Structure 1
Amino acid sequence: MTMVDAAAYLRRIGVAGPVRADLQTLAHLQERHQKSVPFETIDFNLGLPIGMGEEAVEKIVDRRRGGGCYELNTAFAVLLRELGFPVALLPGRTLHNGQRQVLGAHSGHMMLRVEADGESWLTDVGFRWASRHPLRLSDRRRQKDENGEYLLTDGDEGDVVIVHNGVPRIRLETREREIEDFVPTLWWFCTSPDSPVSAGSVWASLVTDDGRVSLLDRTLTRVENGQLVREVLDDEAFAAACRRWFGIELDRLPHLPPGPADEPA
Structure 2
Amino acid sequence: MRDELVAAYLDRLGTPRPERLDTAALRALHRAHQERIPFENLSIHLGESISLDPDDLVDKIVHRRRGGFCYELNGLFAQLLRALGARVDLHGARVYGAGTLSAPMAHLTLLVHTVEGGEPWVCDVGFGAHSTYPLRWAEPWVQEDPGGGFRLVNAGDDVDVVKDGEPQYRIERRPLELADCVPTCWWTATSPESHFTQGVICSRLTADGRISISGDRLIRTVDGVKTEETLADDAALMAAYRDHFGLELPRVPVRTDMPGDPAGR
**What percentage of aligned pairs have identical amino acids?**
42
Structure 1, residues 170-193: CA drift from partner, whole Å, max 9, x if none? 111011101111011011112212
1:249 matched to which residue of 2? 248
Asked if 1 retains the 8 angstrom alpha-carbon contact of 2:46 and 2:251, the reply is no
3-state DSSP class of the match of 2:180? helix
Structure 2: which amino acid aligns with 1:217? G
SS at match of 1:4: helix
Residue 227 of structure 1: how far off its partner (Å): 4.4
Question: What amino acid sits opposite 1:31 in the alignment?
Answer: R
Alignment of 1:104-119 (within 5 A): 104-116=102-114, 117-118=116-117, 119=119
Q: Identify the residue that residue 260 of structure 1 maps to in structure 2.
A: none
Query: Structure 1 residues 17-26 or 34-43, which shifts more?
Result: 17-26
Query: 1:102 offset after TM fit, Å?
Result: 4.4
Counterpart of 1:50 in structure 2 is 50
Distance 1:197 1:8, change over 3 A: same
Q: CA deviation at 1:139?
A: 0.8
2:203 aligned partner, one-letter code: S
- The gaps in structure 2 that reach 5 residues or longer are 257-265
Q: CA deviation at 1:75?
A: 0.6
Q: Is the 8 A contact 1:129 1:164 kept in 2?
A: no
Cα deviations by residue, 1:110-159 (Å, 9 ceiling, x for unpaired): 10000022121100001123211111111101101111100110012x11
After superposition, residues 45-84 of structure 1 pair within 5 angstroms as 45-52=45-52, 53-84=54-85
Partner of 1:262: none
Q: Distance in 2 between matches of 1:179 and 1:140?
A: 28
In the other structure, the counterpart of 1:195 is 194
What is the count of residue pairs matched by the alignment? 252
Residue type at the aligned position of 2:253: P
- Partners of 1:188 and 1:195 within 8 A in 2: yes
In the superposition, the TM-score normalised over structure 2's length comes to 0.90
Distance 2:249 2:175 in 1: 36
Distance apart, 1:95 and its partner CA? 0.4
Is the 8 Å Cα contact of residues 222 and 230 (structure 1) preserved in structure 2?
yes
Give the TM-score, by structure 1 length.
Answer: 0.90
Once the two structures are superposed, what CA deviation does each residue of 1:197-254 show, in whole Å capped at 9, x if it has no partner?
13x1001110001100011111111035874321112211111111111111111111
Which residue pairs with 1:20 in the alignment? 20
User: 1:184 and 1:204, CA in 2 relative to 1: closer, same or farther beyond 3 A?
Assistant: same
Counterpart-to-counterpart distance in 2, 1:41 and 1:222: 19
CA distance in 2, matches of 1:34, 1:54: 21
Q: Is the 8 A contact 1:89 1:111 kept in 2?
A: yes
User: Which residue of structure 2 aligns with residue 175 of structure 1?
Assistant: 174
